[in-house]
A and B are shown apart, each in its own frame.
Chain A
Amino acid sequence: MKSINLILLLFVLFLSSVVMAQIDVSGTITDSSGETVPGVNIYVDGTQAGTASNIEGKYTLSVPNKEAVIVYSFTGMETEKRTVGDQIVINLVMREGVDLDEAVVTALGISRDRKSLGYAVQEVSGSAVSDSRETNIVSGLSAKVAGVQVTNGSGAAGSSSYIKIRGNASLTGNNQPLFVVDGIPIKNDQQVGSNFDLRDGVALSNRAIDINPDDIETMSVLKGGAAAALYGSRGANGVILITTKKGKQSADGTSANITFSSTLELSSVNKLPAIQNSYSQGTYQEVANPDSGSPFSFGTPIGDVSYDGDTSYPFNSNGRIIHKDSLGANGSQAEVYDHTGDFFRTGIKQQYSLGFNGATKYGTFFMSYSYLGEDGVVPLNTYDRNTFRLSSSNKFGERFNVDASVAYTNSSGSRIQQGSNTSGLMLGLLRTSPTFDNSNGVEDAEDPASYLLADGSQRNYRGGGGYDNPYWTINQNPFKDRVNRVFGYGKIGYKINDWLTANARVGSDYYNDSRKQIFSIGSRTDPAGSILEDVYSVSETTADLFFTFQKDLSEDISVNGLVGNTWNHRYFRNDYVAGNGLNFPGFYNINNTASINGGNSTEIVRTSGTYLDINASYKDTYYLGFTGRQDAASTFGIGNESTFFYPSVSGAVILSEILELDKKIVSFAKLRASYANVGSEPGAYATKTYYSSASPYSGWTNSQEFPFQGVSAFTLGNVLGNDELRPESTATFEVGADLSFFQNKLTVDATYYSQYSSDLILNVPVAASSGYTSRTINAGEMSNKGIELTLGVTPISKKDFKWMASVNFTRNRNVVEKLADGVDVVDLPWGFTGANQRLVEGEAYGTLYGSVWERDNSGNVMIDGNGIPITAANDDIIGDPNPDWLMGINNAFEYKDFKFSFLWDIREGGDIWNGTKGALYYFGTHEDTAEDRYESFVYEGVYAPGTEIGGEDVSGQANTTELIKDIDWYAGGPGSGFTGPSEQFIEDGGWIRLRQVSLTYDLGKFLKDSKTIKGLTFGVTARNLFLSTDYTGVDPETSLTGNTNAQGADYFNMPNTKSWSFTLKANF
């Protein structure tokens, strides 16, 4: 509530200080048919300030003097210019045509004419991102850009999103694009930390979440290759360029504009695994009660289960469950509990955003504040964010221009244990037998009656053993984090002469992320209780000195470009302290623990580079561009003397200027091609083999940590360092066409790219018997080939009704072409035993690898004499998590004051290991295990060599031995994910979803007489309203691992959500 009061205060203050413009030019804009044209962008030439025509085509604009030139531009119309002179009214008829002057933001934040570019850049307006009302700007890009794959971690409040442009370029390094805000690289990492594991822990945020979506003017997606070559070693995965909003200057100097928006969003879980509700806790059709500790739900059919009526039984107020025919049964029918339905709640998110932009005679000013508060669908899961931004641009005399911007974000989350973890929320929730009530009948999620017994021990379905009761997890194992972040830049431009400008820019991004995880005494993760505290201090500073030039060398030839030098310093520090063994409950400071371990690590990476970018154009028809960048990086070490050069060349030809085309049919046609070679530097400290603190562990336990018995211990690392590392290299060839037909009613933007990465740095595994497990070398090769297609259609464009449709299509084929000599499989450093991701020569990146059935040469499953299929001794390929293609289809309608749009998001293919299902088969809580329970079946396959039945050798014969689908198959046999091959649980993760539906209504007509309120709109947006998928678990979009290379695993993932949001926007 505090934040809301603050908003109101700011709001009143700003209203009282609004200064309106004084001198006006006005007029009406019509098209060739005489219809008025609303929304025409009208501004004084040479400034960014202006207005737009209203619904009746009318406008009013302040101009400084008679010499001022007014520019009128509108998509699909030819841009017009008028000198004011003595006119007070300027009416204009605009002609339909092609807007050739559309500018896009390219590398280093330079605006260029789209038509001059020889490579693909796709721009997304800030409003398109913010209108999705997503917390995370990365999620706001979902299904909007060809060539881009976005995966939302889960519906958990504050969870992260993963973005990948054109497939993976690095085998084991980072594959996320570089995020650049106003020319300054910023962090979009997700700190996992020394005390956490990707498979468990909590849903963490990727740091792009710190950006207020309402601050964004545009997002430019540089898809790699030539577009990103100017970023050298950091551009290999593409670049997301974010330009923030700036103040708008009006002609006479002073102007002020306030925008305010308020959103309320209601969300609920969109998809859950199917759970059985027909069999009680227990085994072999016998009931078991919680104090038995039984994990299984293979008990009595619940219709035959009653209670013993002992109301003092602590695990169930109805008493113990008992067969209804047993002695002592009280005759009442045992209840079935809806674990998930009772547990999840409606999530509520509120967002308030206030922006001020204005100008004086000397410069512009932009200021914003936003607050976001989210209560997730899981009780006690919250995320709060406050953002501030100040930007100003000022002219000093004729030559100096100074820009500065600073943003501050403060966020905090309260997050919930998830995944493979005995305190994991979904794990406890879905394994619980249908006859046990996790909530113990209480409504309030914070009421200890659900999870605590009278003696202070835990109340759960396994009598205190097994897994934490979900209510215990949310109350007793809290994870809280708080992030403070500041990022911004200052830039001085000095105009040396009319064609050359010198620029100096320094920007910095700093954040501090402190986290505290508590496991209370009695938690299944750590019965003795523990506290983990982690603090991350991360910063990145970039300084650039560069010259930009623009010169017409002759009437037909002009050149522009830049040359500069950049210095980049990245700093990381993590301090952690872990206290084990709480002395007494209820007080959660590290000083209340029996043993304390701590440590820290720091990392510094420095790079510097020189870059050159030259573009030439001839007759505005032929374009040629060249970039070059020479980099040096600290991570190579002094053993390596060389610096590295990354070139690119690109060209474009405007065919529609050369060929005699009917402009009414082919309005615009451009062909483009580019080639670039960029690369990535190795990670820090890979050049040497270091000692580290000894930490033995086993396959099923955590590690032993030093100091131990008063001594420290150091062991030589298992990764052999290499001081001869070279940068990774990615060569990209790209061709494309931008076409526009029927006066822009149909636009096509098509790109084909072929990217080949070589010298990929890889920790190549070596046999442990050598004393090491891997060595770091430049060895791997990987290719990505793909098609990106963007179609725009405007079937109807009438004054009162407009229909615009757009389609973007992405298809990428990734192949790991080569690993190292003699190595064709490499583990990736995450995943589960028996189901993980690997690099396999000839297969796609991150191929799912896991346990499989033993098969003969023709692929028949081998069956043993008991009719049970045999699990192979070694793991093999089980699936490919990479989608076949992605498509986003957006339809937008405008009717009078209404705007309506809906966005379909289609993903074809992409396997997921449904580890959740594999586990629930084991416990007997999955619906499948109830549907066919006690049915007999014969597993298809042939008897293994040497199999004898009744003394007769049946090797190679088709299996005929019947098995029963009961606990002996699911838990005792190989029918579950724990006891049998994970290949049984690979599923297609494709989907068709209605990503977003929006309806906005412009209330402007009710405000005609208002002098203060300039605009008012009301909008409703729904997200994930519809989802069609063959995947049987939670929403296949979810991931435990957030924005990391690890994808394609579902092991008790948090569910995703669908939501309705209501937004009111006002301009003053």
Chain B
Amino acid sequence: MKNSIYIILALTLVMFQSCKKDFVEGYDIDPNRPLDVSMDVLLSSAQAYSSWVTSSDLTRLTGVITQQMTGEDRQFLAINRYVIAGSDVETVWEVNAYAGGLKDLSILMEKADEQTSPHYKGVAQILTASNLGTLTDCFGDIPYSEALAGTISDGLEPTYDSQAKVYDAIFQLLDDGIANVSATSSTLSPGGDDLYLGGDLTQWAKYANSLKARHYNRLSNTGDYDTEIMNAIAAGFGAGEGATPLFETAKPQSNPWYQFLIVDRAGYIGLNGYMFDNMTANSDTLRTAAFGLDGWYFQPESPIVLVHGYEMLFIEAETMLRTGAVDADVQAKLEEAVASHFGMVALDASDYLANDLVDLSSLGSEAEKLEAIMWEKYVASYTTNEAWSDYRRTGYPVLTAVADAQGGIDVPQRLPYPQSEFLYNSNTPASLEGFPANLTTSLWWAE
């Protein structure tokens, strides 16, 4: 009997001693995904995500809000009534911006420093500024200075920077970016991996200056930035230039608008409403055709418009009006702007300019002239987020809230933060969580 117990004990010992770790070791690293990557693939990634930040969920929401389009089916009917929830913008933060392009850009900036490649650093700074601009103009205060820390010890609940502070950061990033893309030497420089501008650093400097012009102009209610605006315009995109990256024919590589309007969610948003009605009344038929489902904007390979020279010309016209330029000069600039937009969508503007464009000198007050300029800019800003920002800043065009607006609120002034921020970041401004404050509270630059 004792023998048998000893045998069992001996067997047990042998078994427990046998080397189990050897069998399992070395299988912990994923063979399918890399732990480190080169700068070129990071840049392409950051640009793809950045395109989707501006040109998918956000432009759809802002397009409906500005009545350049109409929500006609399913949840977009609710959005048309300003039933807009945090869940409607969750992918903007969780997929494309913070956990997407912005994170890749912050890694790219570190790598560019390590690899003494100011050209990559500059491009990353300009793209970061571009994303921050889009986000703050929709959401107001946003996390930036503490955002993207990426480690538990650095904190995963970044504070929210005031919009003024975010704007300071944007201008700083753009100035640094311009300096870096102009550096005389860089170990590595963007080339084919640059999906926006093909590695053309001169164009990147223009892109940065165009963003400066856009955002200084946005602050026109908060102070006098006319000099900065005009300087930036001078160094920005010209009439036929812009950051308008193209897409491809196959669906997984196609334009986000095409994917939404034609393929995945046909009928959810109708290309009609206030803007189309007014354009039709104004004989603006060439452009209404270009704005349709078969038109310039919504083909599989159509570009998205990040910034284009027409916007610089509109800002210039507006600034000239503000600084007291004579009507004829403003009119000439306005015509250039409109022609630039017609040119972008491959149309001849001459007929419209000759017959349909408003004559500023026929209008009495500066307010009326501004309204006329802003109307033209509103039309040209189709499919971008600019029209909503301009509306909130200038009040033009004069929009009437939809009749069945939830709670009878006016045209929304901001977008709600995603619910995930309220749930997981205690710094998220609680006063902006509930309806209607989450939609009706004005942004700093629009106050």
Contacts and interface: CB of A to CB of B under 8 A. Distances in A.
B195 A770 contact: no
B152 to A, nearest CB: 7
Contacts of A606: 23-24, 27
A767 interface: yes
A700 B28 contact: no
Interface hub of A499, A705, A974, A979 (most chain B Cβ within 10 A): A979
B48 A713 contact: yes
Given A634-B27, A768-B420, A549 B48 contact: no
A529 B260 CA distance: 17
Contacts of B74: 922, 978-979
A39 interface: no
A564 B8 CA distance: 11
A634 B46 CA distance: 33
B99 A765 contact: no
B21 A632 contact: yes
Contacts of B147: 769-771
Contacts of B385: none
B49 A547 contact: no
B106 interface: yes
Contacts of A68: none
B40 interface: yes
Contact of B41 (A581, A712, A851): A712
B193 A769 contact: no
B188 to A, nearest CB: 15
B394 interface: no
B156 A772 contact: yes
Nearest to B259: A701
B251 A526 contact: yes
Contacts of A295: 73, 267
A527 interface: yes
Contact of B251 (A696, A702, A765, A922): A702
Given A691-B33, A698-B256, A714-B34, A708 B404 contact: no
A697 B150 contact: no
B408 interface: yes
A944 B433 CA distance: 16
Interface stretch (A95-103, A372-380, A608-616, A780-788): A608-616
Nearest to A565: B15
Chain B, interface SS category = helix
Nearest to A873: B435
A964 interface: no
Contact of A875 (B24, B78, B419): B419
Interface in B77-118: 77-78, 83, 85-88, 90-104, 106-107
A65 to B, nearest CB: 32
Nearest to A700: B265
A560 to B, nearest CB: 11
B104 A716 contact: yes
B103 A643 contact: no
B248 A716 contact: no
B248 A690 contact: no
Contacts of B364: none
Contacts of A565: 15, 18, 20
Given A711-B195, A866-B408, A979-B74, A699 B57 contact: yes
A594 B252 CA distance: 12
A769 B98 contact: yes
Given A685-B29, A972-B77, A610 B20 contact: yes
Contacts of A701: 56, 256, 259-260, 263-265
A924 B28 CA distance: 53
B264 A643 contact: no
B95 A696 contact: yes
Nearest to A502: B11
A231 to B, nearest CB: 16
A182 B94 CA distance: 46
Contacts of A691: 33-37
A580 B418 CA distance: 33
A720 B148 CA distance: 12
Nearest to B92: A698
Contacts of A600: 32
B6 interface: no
Contacts of A978: 74-75, 77-78
A553 B1 contact: yes
Given A711-B44, A873-B86, A874-B419, A697 B78 contact: no
B27 A874 contact: no
Contact of A696 (B7, B60, B100): B100
A716 B103 contact: yes
Nearest to B97: A768
A632 B20 contact: yes
B158 interface: yes
Contacts of B433: 873-874
A766 B438 CA distance: 21
Contact of A697 (B37, B52, B73): B52
A701 B254 CA distance: 11
Given A295-B73, A551-B4, A698-B96, A712 B102 contact: no
B243 interface: no
A770 B100 contact: no
A275 interface: no
A147 B368 CA distance: 76
B157 interface: yes
Interface in A654-701: 684-685, 687-688, 690-692, 694, 696-701
A433 to B, nearest CB: 15
Interface stretch (B166-174, B208-216, B341-349, B423-431): B423-431
Contacts of A688: 29-30, 35
Contacts of A638: 25-26, 28
B371 interface: no
Interface hub of A553, A692, A700 (most chain B Cβ within 10 A): A700
Interface in B95-152: 95-104, 106-107, 142-143, 147-150, 152
Nearest to B265: A700
Contacts of B51: 696, 704
A945 to B, nearest CB: 10
Given A606-B23, A608-B20, A714-B45, A634 B28 contact: yes
B33 A704 contact: no
A889 to B, nearest CB: 44
Given A632-B20, A634-B28, A698-B96, 7 more contacts: A565-B18, A634-B27, A694-B104, A699-B56, A708-B44, A770-B425, A833-B75
12 contacts: A293-B267, A565-B18, A638-B28, A698-B260, A708-B44, A711-B192, A712-B44, A713-B45, A715-B42, A767-B421, A769-B148, A871-B83
Q: Which 10 A-B pairs have the closest CB atoms?
A: A767-B425, A698-B56, A595-B250, A634-B27, A690-B33, A694-B45, A713-B44, A696-B52, A637-B28, A713-B45
Interface of A: 293, 295, 465-466, 499-500, 526-528, 530, 547, 549, 551, 553-554, 561, 563-565, 567, 578, 580-581, 594-595, 597, 600-610, 612, 614, 630-638, 643, 684-685, 687-688, 690-692, 694, 696-706, 708-718, 720, 765-773, 775, 822-823, 825, 833-834, 851, 854, 864-866, 868, 870-875, 922, 944, 947, 971-974, 978-980
